Amino acid sequence: MSETKIETTVHGMMAEFTTVDSLLSACRRIRDAGYTKTDAYTPFPVHGIDKALGIKPTALPWICLIAGATGTCIALAMQIWMNSIDYKYIISGKPYLSLPAFIPVAFELTILLASFGAFFGMWALNGLPKFSNPMFTDPRFDRATDDRFFLYVDAGDERYDANGVRNLLADTGSDYINEVVEDDSPKEVPKPVFLIWGLSVAASLVPLICILTMRVTNSSKPRFHIFFDMDFSPSKDAQQVTSLFADNRAMRSDVPGTVARGQMEESLDMLTGIDVEALTLSDPPRVQRLVRAYMLADDEAKAEEKEAVDAAEAAPASVMDTTPWVEKNPLNVDAELLAQGQQQFAIYCSVCHGMDGYGNGLVNQRAQSISAPTWVPPASMHQETLYADKYPDGKLFSTISNGIRKMPGYAGQIKLKDRWAIVAYVRALQKSQNASLDLVPESEKAAVEAAVTEAKAELKRQAEEAEKAAAARKQEQP
């Protein structure tokens, strides 16, 4: 036994005590004897032992303060950068940098980092985790975490002398004194633990490697969709068939009785082009039908109305003729409205009726050139039957909205006010082809005459230029 003792390194001497008081008095004696490299091991914190052993206070609170202040700074910098500089959110019109809103997160991060400082700082200052400790070689030391108190004198102390320390400790009333020797237990981690640790580390790397591989390689395969219906919504397009509804239509009409935004803002006169007050006297049921069709979005009433109007086209003395139409455009006709009407006319009407309204638009030209058999030529706006006295504004509006002969109704495409603007523009177009200077107010006459003269001169000049150019070309060519 003595042989093994010589070979192992002696770390120091420990003594066991059974009470706090005996430990404290032993500590004081050891301290008074001049030993400095000493320590006590107790199952719970013993108060007064730092004084008895001469332990200095710790710097931990400072670490904590610095960590906490770092947390505050990080949190404020992060929030200011993210919400006030890099990606500015407008929230209730508040300034981008509104400090009060940033306080909660700053507070939480301060606490978080200060706690990290206290927690990790404490372990670092204590030199833990440290799994090999010469103290643990003595089986009696297991009770240091149960009910025994140990005093330890390190062999590195300059006053250390094995026998002297042993005697001193025996004097303090300790009944168990032993030398602390090098931990001779195998240093390597037992194989099964190592294996499990290695396997779990390897396994934990697998997903990471998979992700990294996928990020750096190209794949021709389509993306994998975990939730297919979230990436590709099963919603239907307007004209598709669905089994959800009895009529198999994906596109739904308004719920009867509902009124869309803006729908009821206009009068029935404006919506239909009919003088409803007059119609009330002559045909009350039709007024009711119009109210249901136009103001309550009742599809059935709409269909009935359309049937009646369609039937009218065939019969000579029809509902179209007996209807009291609105005589005057309900909108305020001014240059702005005419410009709006001109624009809408150019978009929707001119393709058939032509920009000038003579009924020779591009579609008509094409239809004539291929002699389309079912083609009904579009009407010219410049026939007298379509003038305001024979074809009132309301009737023209109704024709645009509901269509006539082969022409479809444009109520779905052209907004209500735009349709009335087109009516106003068509009236202007009609006037433009059949106007005399008498229609112009006296004050404007001179200006118009000047403009006409100028335009005529310009035309003449252009014609002369063209003639000259043609003559020049003739001379060049033999």
Partner 1 sequence: MSLAIPNGLDNTVERPGERAPLVLGETTYHDITEAVCKVAERPPSKGWIGGFLVAFALLQVLGLLIVYLIYTGVGVWGNRAPIFWGWPIVNFVFWVGIGHAGTLISAILFLFRQEWRTSINRAAEAMTIFAVACAGTFPGIHVGRAWLAFWLAPYPSLNLWMWPQFRSPLLWDVFAVSTYGTVSLLFWYMGMVPDLATFRDRSKNKYRRMAYGLLCLGWSGSSRHWMRYEKAYAILAALAAPLVLSVHTIVSFDFAVSQVPGWHTTIFPPYFVAGAIFSGFAMVLTLMVPARKMLNLEKLITIRHLENMCKIILATGSIVGLAYGTEFFIAWYGQVPAEQFAFLNRAFGPYAWAYWTMVSCNVISPQIFWFKKARTTPWIIVVVSIFVNIGMWFERFVIVISSLSRDYLPSAWAYFTPTWVDWGMLIGSFGLFFTLFLLFCRTLPVINMAEVKATLAKQEHMAHLHGHGEEASEGH
Q: Which residues lie near partner 1 (CB under 8 A)?
A: 20, 39-46, 49-50, 53, 55, 57-58, 60-61, 64, 68, 78-79, 82-83, 86-87, 89, 91, 94, 98, 101-102, 104-105, 107-109, 111-112, 114-116, 118-119, 121-123, 125-126, 128-133, 135-136, 142-147, 150, 190, 193, 226, 230
Which CB sits closer to partner 1, 104 or 256?
Answer: 104
**CB neighbourhood size of 39 (10 A):** 16
CA distance 344 to 215: 53
Residue type, 385: T
Amino acid at 37: K
Least separation in angstroms between CB 310 and partner 1: 39
Q: Which is nearer to partner 1, 149 or 397 (CB)?
A: 149
Residue 121 or 378: the one with the smaller Cβ distance to partner 1 is 121
- Least separation, in Å, of the C-beta of 226 and partner 1? 7
Q: Which helix (H) or strand (E) holds 41?
A: strand 38-41
Distance between CA atoms of residues 140 and 67, nearest Å: 40
Q: Based on CB atoms, which residue is closest to partner 1, 230 or 370? A: 230
The 3-state DSSP composition of the chain as helix, strand, coil percent (nearest 5) reads 55, 5, 35
Tell the smallest beta-carbon distance from residue 150 to partner 1 (Å).
8
Q: Which of 424, 448, 427 is nearest to 437 (CA)?
A: 448
3-class state of residue 418 by DSSP:
helix
Q: Nearer Cβ to partner 1, position 43 or 284?
A: 43
Q: Quick one: which of 82, 93, 178 has its CA closest to 136?
A: 178
Q: How far is the CB of 254 from partner 1 (least distance, A)?
A: 18
Whole-number minimum distance, CB 204 to partner 1, in Å? 17
Q: Which is nearer to partner 1, 127 or 412 (CB)?
A: 127
Distance in Å, CB of 200 to partner 1, minimum: 14
Q: Which is nearer to partner 1, 44 or 232 (CB)?
A: 44
Query: DSSP per residue over 223-244, as a string?
Result: PP-SSHHHHS--PPPTT-B-SS
Q: Which helix (H) or strand (E) holds 407?
A: strand 407-408
Angle 249-255-260 (CA atoms, 0-180°, nearest 5)? 115
Helix or strand run (H / E) with residue 10: strand 10-17
* Closer residue to partner 1 (CB): 94 or 415: 94
In the complex, minimum distance from the CB of residue 131 to partner 1, in angstroms, rounded to a whole number: 5
Q: State the minimum distance, in angstroms, from the CB of residue 83 to partner 1.
A: 5
Among 73, 181, 79, smallest CA distance to 133 is for 181
The closest of 140, 150, 143 to 13, measured between CA atoms, is 150
